[in-house]
Each structure stands twice: as C-alpha cells, then as structure tokens.
C-alpha cells in the first residue's frame, strides 16, 4: 500500500477566505477586510462563503466526499480584537465546527495564522514591530487552551513568503506596504514567533500533538530522468537568489537551524536555537515549479498549460517537490495545499470540471510515486474545499471541490469532488 493507513485525505480553507461574519461576536477588522480597491474585482470578504453560519452543511459535504481531515484556520481577529485582550466569544464558532467535525470523524488540522492580521496590529507596525511576537503568542496560547482535546495537528503559519514578501515588500497583498529595507526584521519576527509557538503549543496542549508549518514550496523539475539531471534539479531547488527567497530563507533556519545568506548576522545562535525547535512535519503548499521562475526559456509556456491564476500545470511538480524537500530536510511531509483555479460553471445542475479531475489525478499519482519511494507523507489537503475569496483576485478564480453560487450561497459538488472521493475510498490504490 503506497499511502499508509490513516493517511489524511482532506481539503483546506482559511478564515478570511471562507468565514464571512466579518463583524460578528466581537471580531475586529483584519488587514484583508480593509483591502478595498486592491481587490481587482471590487469584491470583499465580508460574507465570503458564509462558512461561519453554514459550517454544518459544509461538514456534511466533506463527509459526503469522504474526507477524513479538514485544514482550516483560526482568525486572530476573532480571538484578539484588541491589543492584549482575549475575546472568549471568538472561540464559540471554532468549538462548534470542531464538534461537528468530530461527529463526522474528520480530523482537524488547525492553522494559527493564515494572513488575516488584526487591523489594530497593523496600525502598530504589524510584522515590523517586535511586539507582534508577544501578541501572536498570547493568541496562540489562548487558542490552544480553548481548543484543547479537539485538535491534534497544529500549523503555526501559512506561507510566510506571501504574507511578508507580498504584504510588506512588493505591496501586492494586504497590508500593501513596500518596505524592502526592513525585510530581515519581518523574517526574524516571524521565525521567532514560529519557534516560540512550537514550544508553547507543546507545553499548553494536554496531550501530545503534531506541529508543523505550511510553506510555499517550489521544487525544480529535472530536464530528464537521468541521475545527473535529477541531482542538478535537487540543487537548483535550494540554491541561488530565487531558491533562497522562496524556499530556504524560512525552511533552513526552521529545519536545519541555519541562517541563509540574506539572514546572516541577523539571526544569532540563540535565535536559531528557538527557531529550530523540532517540528513533527513540514507542510508544503505546492502550486508551481521553480523552473517557471528561473528557467523560463527551457520551461516554455507552450509546453505547460496554465491555470486561471497563470500558474504552470505540470504533473511532475508534486512528485519532485515532495522528494526534494524530504531529501533536504528529512522530516515527514504533509501536502497542506495543492490545487487549481478554473472558471467553473453550473450547467444542468452539474459542474464538469474535467481539467481539475485530470489535475488531481495526475498530481496525486506523483505523490503516490514519492510515497512508494519511501517519503513519509502524512496527508494531502486539496486547495480548496469550496470556491472562495482568492485575496486580490476576488471570487472569480474558483479552486473548490465544491462550487458556490455567491449570490445564493448554494453549494454544488463538482465532478472533481466525485473523482477525489473515489481516490480516497481506495486509499489511493485506484490512481
Ligand atoms: C496559497 C494560499 C491560499 C490560496 C492558494 C490559492 O498561496 O495559501 O490561501 O490563496 O494560494
């Protein structure tokens, strides 16, 4: 059997992208509630998928698909709507959701930070201000206490690459700052928050839990299957400016206790000790290979069709990424995100998303091959359970296994959900 028993077949979401209820039960505004004109379609995330009120229906749909896990995030805005103040009301929704998941026998994987920074924290500098470490840790401790007994898998952060570099360097994501000078400080604050959180979660949880972090992961696809090219590709994934900015700047300190070139001198030995507190798994969000960034000519767009996001589709991507990260870091891997956006429509009551059906099937074949070759893969979380608010793209880039009509909130299972369902039923043997 390629995938071990208990393999976590799931789908992922994030609070700001699905919950809605933007001002309920004491929640404060997030930097994404204030994105305004930056969202290309003029939309906002005030209602999103209304998951906050429709979670029971959504869990029933997960059950129908056959998922045995669900990756979601807690919004810091619900739990710490003011500096240093915990809002107990903010936990109610998550506890109800967790009870529903438990009834359905679905294992929760809880992400503690998926980009929706409280607006008050940004007013005080956000990730530039070292105080963010204390705010984040206070929020983490309260959350782990409140959800204790329900959650065995914790993810400290989702894609620091995106919320720090797009949020504070290129200005493409909330809070839309361009602040290159402070890059090292942002990275350091995040890394210390992560390392301290790992220790705090273990101390706070009343039973042993598994802790990881979800990273943007870009592997490099070799030119051929020759051993030489495979080795060359392995190196290319972790060497050079793009490899550092995308992969190693975060994963080397966390998993090897080493600072990369950019961070040399900024991370002291004592910092690195905290940052490299042992984790139980590495979460990989796999969408595009590195080739697309560094080897554009050889890796031409003609040979690789694109998703609606413009991201290259290449069935070899998941296999090589997972292999390369495991080779370098030697920790169990969880695919915390992988998926594609399509302009899906309901026709005659159905959504025939053939492209996604092929995508899931082919990418999972790659994951199966990696597992066959000995990579300990704990799970696969398709991005995303439902169509949702895709940050600055708004609602048009549909990633879901479940279609949402945003005017009526009607949910329709897409063809890909049925395909995924069959794969899950056979624990991947049908691939
Ligand atoms: C990832 C994000 C996730 C979603 C997908 C499409 O970078 O983690 O929230 O937007 O991309």
Report the pLDDT value the prediction gives residue 301, as an integer from 0 to 100: 63
Write the residue with the smallest CA distance to atom 9 of ligand 1. 14
Centre of ligand 1 from the C-alpha of residue 207, in Å: 30
Burial state string for 83-93 with b = 16 or more CB within 10 A and e = fewer than 16: eeebbeebbeb
Q: What is the pLDDT of residues 251-309, one digit of tens each?
A: 999 999 999 999 999 999 999 999 999 999 999 999 999 998 888 878 876 678 999 99
Cα separation, 42 vs 30, whole angstroms = 17
Mutate to test the pocket of ligand 1, among 337, 341, 394, 397 (most ligand atoms within 8 A of CB): 337
Ranges of the chain whose pLDDT falls below 70: 1, 301-302
- Of 80, 83, 214, 192, the closest CA to residue 133 belongs to 192
Q: Residue 54's domain spans which residues?
A: 8-425
Alpha-carbon distances, residue 84 vs 136, 138, 162, 247 (angstroms): 10, 7, 26, 32
In a domain, 399, yes or no: yes
Q: What is the pLDDT of residues 14-54, one digit of tens each?
A: 999 999 999 999 999 999 999 999 999 999 999 999 999 99
Report the pLDDT value the prediction gives residue 292, as an integer from 0 to 100: 86
* Three-state DSSP string of 43-69: CCCCCCCCHHHHHHHHHHHHHHHCCCE
Q: Who's near 2: CB < 8 A, 6+ residues apart?
A: 368, 371, 372, 428, 429
Instruction: Give me the percent of the chain exceeding a pLDDT of 90.
Output: 96
In a domain, 143, yes or no: yes
Is residue 341 within 8 A of residue 309, CB to CB? The reply is yes
In a domain, 381, yes or no: yes
Alpha-carbon distances, residue 329 vs 8, 25, 273, 289, 333 (angstroms): 21, 41, 16, 18, 10
In a domain, 430, yes or no: no
Q: What is the CATH number of the domain that holds 395?
A: 3.20.20.80
Q: How many domains does the chain have?
A: 1
Neighbours of 258 (CB within 10 A): 15
- Ligand 1 pocket, CB under 6 A: 14, 17, 158-159, 162, 285, 337, 383, 390-391, 399
Write the residue with the smallest CA distance to atom 2 of ligand 1. 159
Report the pLDDT value the prediction gives residue 296, as an integer from 0 to 100: 80
In a domain, 400, yes or no: yes
Q: Where are the beta strands (DSSP E) in 127-176?
A: 153-158
In a domain, 2, yes or no: no
In a domain, 233, yes or no: yes
In a domain, 316, yes or no: yes
Report the pLDDT value the prediction gives residue 293, as an integer from 0 to 100: 87
């Amino acid at each position: 059997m390629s995938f071990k028993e208990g393999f976590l077949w799931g789908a992922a979401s994030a609070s700001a992208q699905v919950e809605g209820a933007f001002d309920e039960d004491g929640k404060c505004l997030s930097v994404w509630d204030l994105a305004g004109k930056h969202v290309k379609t003029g939309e906002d995330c005030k209602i999103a998928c209304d998951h906050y009120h429709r979670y029971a229906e959504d869990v029933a749909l997960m059950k129908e698909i056959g998922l045995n896990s669900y990756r979601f995030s807690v919004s810091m805005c619900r739990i710490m709507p003011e500096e240093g103040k915990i809002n107990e009301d903010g936990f109610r929704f998550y506890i109800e959701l967790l009870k529903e998941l438990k009834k359905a026998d679905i294992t929760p994987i809880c992400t503690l930070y998926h980009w929706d920074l409280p607006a008050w924290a940004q007013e005080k500098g956000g990730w530039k201000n070292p105080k963010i470490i204390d705010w984040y840790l206070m929020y983490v401790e309260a959350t782990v206490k409140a959800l204790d007994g329900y959650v065995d898998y914790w993810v400290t952060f989702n894609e620091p690459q995106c919320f720090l570099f797009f949020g504070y360097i290129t200005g493409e994501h909330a809070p839309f700052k361009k602040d290159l000078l402070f890059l090292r400080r942002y990275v350091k604050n995040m890394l210390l928050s992560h390392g301290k959180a790992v220790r705090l979660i273990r101390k706070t949880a009343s039973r042993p839990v598994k802790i990881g972090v979800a990273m943007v992961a870009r592997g490099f696809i070799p030119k051929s299957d020759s051993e030489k090219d495979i080795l060359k590709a392995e190196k290319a994934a972790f060497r050079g400016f793009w490899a550092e900015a995308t992969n190693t700047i975060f994963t080397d300190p966390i998993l090897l206790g080493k600072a990369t070139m950019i961070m040399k001198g900024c991370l002291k030995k004592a910092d690195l000790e905290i940052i490299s507190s042992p984790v139980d798994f590495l979460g990989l969000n796999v969408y595009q290979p590195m080739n697309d960034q560094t080897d554009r000519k050889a890796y031409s767009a003609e040979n690789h069709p694109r998703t609606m996001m413009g991201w290259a589709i290449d069935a070899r991507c998941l296999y090589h990424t997972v292999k390369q990260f495991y080779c370098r870091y030697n920790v169990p891997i969880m695919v915390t995100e992988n998926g594609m956006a399509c302009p899906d429509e309901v026709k005659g009551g159905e959504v025939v998303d053939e492209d996604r059906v092929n995508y899931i099937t082919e990418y999972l074949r790659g994951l199966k091959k990696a597992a066959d070759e000995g990579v300990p893969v704990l799970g696969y979380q398709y991005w995303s359970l439902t169509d949702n608010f895709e940050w600055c793209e708004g609602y048009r880039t549909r990633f879901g296994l479940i279609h949402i009509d945003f005017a009526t909130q009607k949910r329709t299972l897409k063809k890909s959900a049925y395909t995924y369902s069959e794969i899950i039923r056979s624990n991947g043997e049908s691939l």
